[in-house]
Structure 1
């Protein structure tokens, strides 16, 4: 976030559907040019927020401020906002050029201005050669680009994207993710993206807002949420992790000291220092564990044995039993070559305090 006035300010938004609370007192600022992703499971409130921003739902409480103007009660057509839907919602009886022009006609733009803007946006998104085609004649990726062109053509202040890549196959999805992020950077538009796909969120976003049961669990950069999750929900929802359950011993400087399997471990507490003597859980990502023949100089080190391996191509997943136990309680990712060279003899597993996040639940 920058110090400038936010483009979007969400103030205390709540939405009730009868007894169901879909959104619970959401407050959030979004800056000009940010790519913000709302991430969470079905029913967490992310799509409800998007629909309120677009004017398709009215909040039960709260306000939406867009570029300094209260638009809470304005209908969609009065807002400087556009939306890209999951199914693209292209008109099948219209050509690509007609689909893109449609929104400009609705806004009352003159024919000469429509022609100029159409040429401009089609050249920008490399759609010139498809101008006369109908949606049925386009691939999934091409239809996605047309839907984006139609949404961008009126030059909205805010673009809302409701799981717009959900209909694409895995390979095409990866290509379009990069293309969409590139378009966002080149236009410097503010994108509000909704998805339940964690990899998609990590790949594309400047900032991720993780939602759970209508509330914000954590708001931060992809790196912050992945390596420094504040809660168990975030740690488990985004990627794979080791969850270590133990007891709070105390602190050393800015680090928490916890007792785990009879060993003192050190980590950081993104959500605040827990009380001493309290049971706590910490998260360590699989790729942050290192294997060593002798005790390493890392802040944390335990002895264990590899009791299982899974080959994953360029890397290997290692299941590790700690101490005198036979059941694996840690999992690590190592490159395939390292994984093949590790046998069943006792080894040391080490990781740094900065790579262990003590969770708030």
Structure 2
């Protein structure tokens, strides 16, 4: 068995092709015990294929899957210590909540007293005790989601796979369940492998995000790393809003790299692996200060406010600098106070990230 510091999952050199289409290209990845790892990417990027390979629903063409120290590459789903929560929850409609949770335990041959104790434990933990004798059609979306989790957690799997399980919920309930699901993961200390195409969902819930693009891992890191230190243009654009500046890296001083943009010599931070030939930099709108006077930041350029967009508690300003429009967020009152016309934009070196071309 692994401990909390060891990888509970290792994907080693996994390739998967469907006819002439290669869904995964020699993937290598380790997941530690107790991590909430989210696979994020557009449709067709390989994230669901990875989940299905981990679950035993697909077999890779090459490579191995190691789970809890055991090579499970060729094992079917029922021979793996893995469980799955589907987008539609796949609850048995004619069974009560109690019977839905008990189903997997009965298949394992657990005794009636042990099953009853396990159901009671999970129902209390997930606040389902009052609903044990109801059918799924008598529950709300959030309650059905908790029943699906209880059924998946009942056999005590080493790894829980979640295939866009919040996709059927409305926006308000989805936000509530995101917080709840993360809290459940923390309390159980289970390893969650979560698949989504929703960037905000990934940022909210994950310990770690693996961004997929065309069957390959584009970047793997914490939500903060990926948001503020995107490694590529794809990651910068896919996660959140960003300004992309086109210029040229022009030298390095310790951790800071020079960047020539429209005749302005800026100071920037290079993402890991980005060389001296970088021509694109990412700047998040909320990192840009807008002021009437020159700010005391590492970088400062002059521009002109050409548009503003009210977004409730904050305002988005469009500022033309040369042939580029830079977007900057500010609080609403400050945004109203800034007049149309000339302004200064400022940001520090650690807010401008050079990207791999």
* TM-score (structure 2 length as normaliser): 0.97
Q: In structure 2, what is the equivalent of residue 358 of structure 1?
A: 354
CA distance, structure 1, for counterparts of residue 293 and residue 310 of structure 2: 25
Asked if the contact 2:278/2:355 (under 8 Å) is kept, the reply is no
Name the structure 1 match of 2:319.
320
Residue 287 (str. 1) matches residue 286 (str. 2) = yes
Q: Which runs of 4+ in 1 moved over 4 A?
A: none
Count of aligned pairs: 355
1:341 aligns with: 337
TM-score by length of 1: 0.96
Contact 2:278 2:356 in 1 (8 A): no
Please say if residues 245 and 279 of structure 1, whose CA atoms lie closer than 8 Å, have aligned partners that are also in contact.
no
Shift of 1:242: 0.2
Q: Greater shift after overlay, 199-208 or 136-145?
A: 136-145
Q: Deviations over 1:178-233 (max 9, x none)?
A: 00000000000000000000000000000000000000000000000000000000
- Structure 2 counterparts to residues 302-321 of structure 1, below 5 A: 302-321=301-320
- Give how far 1:249 is off: 1.4
**1:225-254 CA distances to partner (integer Å, 9 max, x unpaired)?**
000000000000000000000112111221
Structure 2 partner of 1:143: 144
Match of 2:240?
239
2:34 matched to which residue of 1? 33
Counterpart for residue 87 of structure 1:
88
Q: What's the counterpart of residue 122 of structure 2?
A: 121
CA distance, structure 1, for counterparts of residue 288 and residue 4 of structure 2: 37
Show the counterpart of 2:155: 154
SS of the residue corresponding to residue 149 of structure 1 reads helix
Partner of 1:15: 16
Q: What does residue range 113-262 of structure 1 map to in structure 2 within 5 Å?
A: 113-262=114-263
Q: What SS does structure 2 have at the residue aligned with 1:346?
A: strand
Q: Deviations over 1:45-83 (max 9, x none)?
A: 000000000001001111110111101111111111000
The answer as to whether partners of 1:210 and 1:216 remain within 8 angstroms in 2 is yes
Paired with 2:279 and 2:270, the residues of 1 have a C-alpha distance of 11
Task: Show CA shifts across 1:134-193 (max 9, x none).
Answer: 011111111111000000011101000000000000000000000000000000000000
Who is 1:297 aligned against?
296
Instruction: Please report how far the alpha carbon of residue 279 of structure 1 lies from its aligned counterpart in structure 2 after TM superposition.
Output: 5.7
Which residue is 2:104 aligned to? Answer: 103
Q: What runs of 5+ residues in structure 1 fail to find an aligned partner?
A: none
Alignment partners' CA distance in 1, 2:250 and 2:205: 39
Alpha-carbon contact 1:256-1:273 (below 8 Å) kept: no
Structure 1: how far apart are the matches of 2:11 and 2:222? 19
Question: C-alpha distance in 1, partners of 2:84/2:290?
Answer: 48
5 Å-filtered alignment, 1:43-54, equals 43-54=44-55
For residues 113-144 of structure 1, what are the alpha-carbon distances to aligned partners after superposition, in whole Å with 9 as ceiling and x for unaligned?
10110101111101000011001111111111
